[in-house]
Amino acid sequence: MQNFTTEYSHILYEDLRSSEISFLEKHHIGENEYQDFVKHLADLVGPNFRKAVEVMEPLLETVPINNITIKLNLSDPMEKMAAYSSASDRNAGNHIFEAKAGLLDGYLRSAADNNIPLSPGTTYVWHHELIHMLDNNILWELGNDRENPLPTEILVKFMLSFRSEGIAQFFEFMRHHGKYRSIKAARTRLRKELESLCDMGWDEYWFLKWIFDRISGEEYYTIGTWMVVHVLGCEAYRNYTPEAAELAVKIRKRAEMSDKEILHFIRMALEVDNYSFLDCLTRPGPDGLPFADPEDLKDLARFVELCEKDHYRDWSRSSQKDENSDFMKLFRLLRPKPNIDWSKYKDA
């Protein structure tokens, strides 16, 4: 196993004084105390990060790791916790993480008062981000035009965010900190979400940021975890496992699970590729029901396509969409499968 020592995994910081968040003022830090404060923050982040690494070691053995950098970043809103940066170079093994204002504030409060425990989100945040580091199927880019992505690309990325965030949330979720304790409850919430998205401005510029902010929360992370469990228990999935049904029962009963058990399921979850994830959502899972109603997905996909056509009509230009692109192949999976009687799978 690669060695995660203090020298090996080092922490950098940004110039917090230029931050949009008055983080220093909130914690009554003057100019003369600045350097000591930054060191204190780094001293809080480092041990918590390494605790997560120790737990995740069995999964990290196959990952090329040359250098790990953690940046202290206070420029995001307080509700932001941490991130695995897309600027990381996975092939070279150079990984970049960010500790953000919300996480640092939680560390400071707990350090100042031993009676204030870390929240579950704060406790397991580095497990979450390390799983993102392990995930080779994350779609970082939105097609060829990141500034003006196609609505169909946004929909694909949004649906796949449930996969990536759901897998990353596995550890916290298996420690009994999830909003939805049954696959049925998560499925019902997803259906309401898909229905509401049929009234949104998919062709509007503001929508891109809004839609991804919407999934960055515990409620949607939990839905995503259940979606991944569903895929693992889908007989149409190439790596189908009956263990998914057993896992669903354990979650519902809040059964205790060891770190080894949780890592076992995370390893299997990381093998769920993007194509299989979308393909299996409308197929029967461990409880014999599809996770998403194919008609709901079809309605949303059609609505998004109409928004896309309106967008290009308004700008008097033709779509540059590549019908053979990976995004379009994934988008087609959001349409119902032919020759299948889905009515018998309707949730009671």
> Are 272 and 224 spatial neighbours (Cβ–Cβ below 8 Å)?
no
- Can you name the CATH fold of 9-134? Zincin-like (3.30.2010)
Q: What is the pLDDT of residue 129?
A: 96
CA atoms within 13 A on the CB side of 139: 23
Per the model's pLDDT, the better-predicted residue between 342 and 261 turns out to be 261
**pTM score:** 0.86
Q: In the chain, where are the structural domains located? A: 9-134, 151-345
Q: Model confidence over 297-338: pLDDT tens digits?
A: 988 998 888 887 655 544 444 445 555 577 888 888 887 555
d(CA 231, CA 239): 9
Q: What are the φ and ψ backbone dihedral angles of 68, each rounded to 5 degrees? A: -125, 125
> Are 328 and 149 spatial neighbours (Cβ–Cβ below 8 Å)?
no
Q: Model confidence over 29-88: pLDDT tens digits?
A: 666 676 787 788 888 999 999 999 999 999 998 888 888 889 887 766 666 899 999 889
